[in-house]
């Protein structure tokens, strides 16, 4: 990676101090934050031990904080015993039992709330139901559900009995679901008849049936009745959620698990064709989710917190299912599409439920911004006091719109940098303390030793010079391994700098004030609408089509989605010419079937062959340049067939 590539041209001068009213009530305030940073700097491990003792309820306290004997497979609080569900529910019953835990807004129909006591009862019943099916400690349970309270209940039910959940986003295809079920070795699948999205039904049960059509390790399927439309139930395998839970007692003794017991697997894309099962721990993960919710979102009992992420993503784990509940917060859950039935839906939900903290993705902000200021201005957004952003760098224009039109110039914005692998937010403003700059995620949280290093692993100290974003010291909520593939864990995150630091896979630079600016991925991973897509995954899907010989996928900047999927395809036999639209549609549909709708290429261009180096590597940088319609500056003298460039540009499709 050359320094020139990374040199930033961004020079954002605007600085927004926390509003005095916000700062005055915020926890942590500036003195408290300084104390946390000082404690972490003085004794990294001791700092986390102190935090873990205070923040978590332990059935048996830990005596060892960090075990680095098998580094970089770190272990935290290893001899401690706890239960994550107890930490999110049981501990609140006495003081907050009747307060709403979840306020659920279906796409159509009336909202309903679940108090902490009701949620606890439902989780206990679901946990008992799982036990009645013989599911217990260490068993993997795949959850493929719409964004409804039962999805959270299912996650906590697993946690309660020590089963390991793996949530698969409902937008993923049957084949993706199948791959994840097999890789995880899951015995149980929890799904629904369907979900609601944009006025349509998402056929989850049909996809689940397709995923299970050939042999998988799944023995039973629990089906939530959500849409009520007819779905076939396979006798002996499929069970209705409501029938199963009705027969269960309201209490369920928790399974006390080791701190390191896996809480969940979550599959995410990497730079090979196969998604990786990111494995998270129980105690370290929960500690990260709980503390970051306090530090970054200043969550108080009176707050109504709405994070729009689906539980199929890490954001929906840490800031929907776990972090806010660990803090006895009230969360809003909305099942449907952001513009259903109209572009005011999000703002109406904020008004209706008096949302005070709103956390969403730049892609959603940009999409809603397109409808104009008049839409949000029709709603009373005065309940908002804090706004958050996650998933990709937020462009200053969207940031400013978010601040003024949604936040009424009174709400701080927290631009939170983190990953599926980090478990919790690592770099972010602390809203009562940090002055923000549009487009910067500002500075690392206490106990997070983030840094930027050059190709040789040396710290980049010069302001605005870019490099690899790394973390120098282990932190409790870090991933533990990749399920079934520790080699890949070592290779992906540690090998680049001989296990000295965690390599995030992003490039970044720091300005003269020490603020971090994320510049993007350094691997072959795209970020489309805040979601990670591996270029190789999409290439493999394309190549699986009977008419496709070869494919190369690159990202192209997109106004709303951040990045769009651009595919170059080489066919078997003749290059398709003339009216190719029907075949393009077929290929897009094909990729949707293989991976899910989010992976469908936005553009497909056919070529006779792909530009490769002498060693046979596809020249992706060249393909990116061409996709963007930019002038080619790189050396193409090594190309076997230089004429191909014109064809790739789409200029010679005579």
Residues that bind ligand WT7 (CB under 6 A): 268, 314-315, 390-393, 415-420, 441, 504-506, 518, 521, 527, 532
Burial class (CB in 10 A: 0-12, 13-18, 19+), 157: buried
Structure tokens at 364: 């959603």
CB of 431 to ligand WT7, least distance (A): 14
Residue 533: both structure tokens together: 């897509």
Preceding omega of 180 cis (within 30 degrees of 0) = no
Residue 488 or 547 with smaller CB distance to ligand WT7: 488
Handedness of CA 29, 30, 34, 40 (dihedral sign): positive
In the DSSP assignment, the letter for residue 394 is: P
Q: What minimum distance in Å lies between the beta carbon of 532 and ligand WT7? A: 4
Give the number of C-alpha atoms closer than 13 A to the C-alpha of residue 290, restricted to the C-beta side: 24
**End-to-end CA separation in angstroms for the chain:** 38
Question: Which residue's CB is nearer to ligand WT7, number 417 or number 568?
Answer: 417
Of the pair 417, 566, the CB lying nearest ligand WT7 is at: 417
Residue 487: which residues within 8 A CB-CB, separation 6 or more?
A: none
Tell me the C-alpha distance between 589 and 600, whole Å: 7
Q: How far is the CB of 379 from ligand WT7 (least distance, A)?
A: 26
H/E stretch holding 471: strand 466-471
Whose Cβ is closer to ligand WT7: residue 194's or residue 288's?
288
CB 296 within 8 A of CB 445: yes
**For ligand WT7, which is the closer residue by CB, 255 or 392?**
392
Q: List Cβ neighbours of 549 (8 Å cut-off, separation of 6 or more).
A: 543, 570, 571, 572
Q: Cβ distance 501 to 453 under 8 Å?
A: yes
CB within 8 Å of 369: residues ≥ 6 apart: 398, 401, 405
Task: Please report how close the Cβ of residue 8 comes to ligand WT7 at its closest, in angstroms.
Answer: 13
Taking a C-beta distance cutoff of 8 angstroms, is the pair 591, 537 a contact?
no
Question: Least distance from C-beta 269 to ligand WT7, angstroms?
Answer: 8
Provide, rounded to whole angstroms, the least separation between the CB of residue 273 and ligand WT7.
17
Give the total residue count for the chain. Answer: 654
* Residue 388 · residue 359 · CB < 8 Å: yes
Nearest distance in Å: CB 361, ligand WT7: 8
CB of 417 to ligand WT7, least distance (A): 4
Query: d(Cα 273, Cα 625) in Å, to the nearest integer?
Result: 23
Q: With respect to ligand WT7, which residue has the nearer C-beta, 504 or 627?
A: 504
Question: How many CB atoms are located within 10 Å of the residue 455 CB?
Answer: 12
Closer to ligand WT7 by CB, 220 or 507: give it: 507
**Least CB distance from residue 241 to ligand WT7, whole Å?**
29
Residue 631 beta carbon to ligand WT7: minimum distance, rounded to whole angstroms: 27
Of 254 and 270, the one with the shorter C-beta distance to ligand WT7 is 270
Q: Which is nearer to ligand WT7, 82 or 441 (CB)?
A: 441
Q: In the complex with ligand WT7, which residue's Cβ is closer, 114 or 266?
A: 266
Q: Counting Cβ atoms within 10 Å, is residue 630 exposed (0-12), middle (13-18) or buried (19+)? A: exposed
């Amino acid at each position: 990676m050359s320094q020139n590539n990374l040199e930033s041209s961004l020079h954002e001068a605007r600085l927004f101090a926390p509003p005095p009213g916000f700062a005055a009530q915020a926890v942590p305030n500036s003195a408290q934050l300084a104390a946390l940073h000082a404690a972490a700097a003085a004794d990294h491990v001791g700092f986390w031990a102190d935090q873990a003792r205070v923040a978590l309820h332990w059935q048996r306290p830990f005596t060892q904080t960090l075990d680095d004997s098998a580094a970089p497979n770190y272990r935290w609080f290893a001899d401690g015993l706890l239960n994550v569900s107890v930490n999110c529910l049981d501990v609140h019953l006495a003081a907050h039992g009747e307060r709403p835990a979840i306020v659920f807004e279906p796409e159509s129909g009336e909202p309903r709330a679940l108090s902490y006591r009701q949620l606890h009862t439902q989780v206990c019943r679901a946990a008992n139901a799982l036990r009645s099916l013989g599911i217990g400690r260490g068993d993997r349970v795949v959850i493929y559900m719409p964004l409804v309270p039962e999805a959270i209940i299912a996650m906590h039910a697993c946690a309660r009995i020590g089963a390991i959940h793996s949530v698969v986003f409902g937008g993923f295809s049957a084949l993706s679901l199948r791959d994840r079920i097999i890789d995880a070795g899951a015995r149980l699948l929890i799904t629904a008849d369907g979900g609601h999205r944009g006025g349509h039904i998402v056929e989850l049960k049909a996809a689940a049936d397709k995923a299970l059509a050939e042999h998988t390790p799944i023995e039973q399927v629990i089906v939530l009745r959500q849409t009520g439309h007819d779905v076939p139930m396979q006798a002996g395998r499929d069970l209705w959620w409501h029938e199963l839970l009705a027969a269960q007692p309201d209490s369920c003794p928790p399974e006390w698990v080791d701190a390191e017991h896996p809480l969940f697997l979550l599959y995410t894309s990497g730079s090979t064709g196969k998604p990786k099962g990111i494995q998270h721990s129980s105690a370290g993960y929960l500690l990260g989710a709980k503390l970051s919710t306090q530090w970054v979102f200043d969550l108080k009992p009176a707050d109504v917190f709405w994070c729009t992420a689906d539980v199929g993503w890490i954001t929906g784990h840490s800031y929907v299912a776990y972090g806010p509940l660990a803090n006895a917060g009230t969360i809003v859950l909305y099942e449907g599409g952001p513009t259903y039935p109209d572009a005011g839906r999000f703002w109406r939900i904020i008004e209706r439920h008096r949302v005070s903290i709103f956390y969403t993705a730049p892609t959603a902000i940009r999409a809603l911004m397109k409808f104009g200021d008049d839409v949000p201005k029709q709603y009373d957004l005065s309940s908002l006091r804090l706004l958050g952003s996650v998933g990709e760098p937020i462009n200053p224009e969207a940031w400013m719109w978010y601040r003024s039109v949604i936040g009424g110039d009174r709400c701080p914005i927290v631009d939170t940098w983190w990953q599926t692998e980090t478990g919790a937010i690592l770099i972010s403003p602390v809203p009562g303390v940090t002055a923000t700059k549009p487009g910067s995620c500002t500075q690392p949280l206490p106990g997070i030793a983030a840094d930027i290093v050059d190709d040789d692993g040396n710290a980049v100290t010069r302001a605005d010079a870019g490099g690899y974003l790394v973390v120098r010291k282990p932190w409790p909520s870090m991933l533990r391994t990749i399920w079934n593939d520790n080699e890949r864990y070592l290779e992906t995150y540690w090998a680049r700098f001989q296990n000295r630091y965690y390599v995030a896979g992003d490039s970044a630079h720091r300005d003269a004030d020490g603020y971090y600016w994320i510049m993007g991925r350094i691997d072959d991973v795209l970020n489309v609408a805040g979601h990670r897509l591996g270029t190789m995954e999409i290439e493999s899907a394309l190549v699986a089509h009977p008419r496709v010989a070869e494919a190369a996928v690159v990202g192209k900047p997109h106004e709303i989605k951040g990045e769009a999927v651009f595919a170059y395809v080489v066919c078997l036999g003749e290059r398709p010419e003339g009216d190719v639209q029907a075949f393009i549609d077929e290929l897009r549909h094909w990729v949707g079937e293989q991976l899910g709708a989010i992976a469908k290429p936005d553009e497909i261009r056919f070529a006779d062959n792909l530009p490769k180096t002498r060693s046979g590597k596809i020249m992706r940088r060249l393909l990116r340049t061409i996709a963007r319609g930019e002038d080619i500056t790189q050396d193409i003298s090594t190309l076997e067939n230089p004429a191909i460039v014109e064809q790739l540009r789409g200029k010679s499709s005579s």
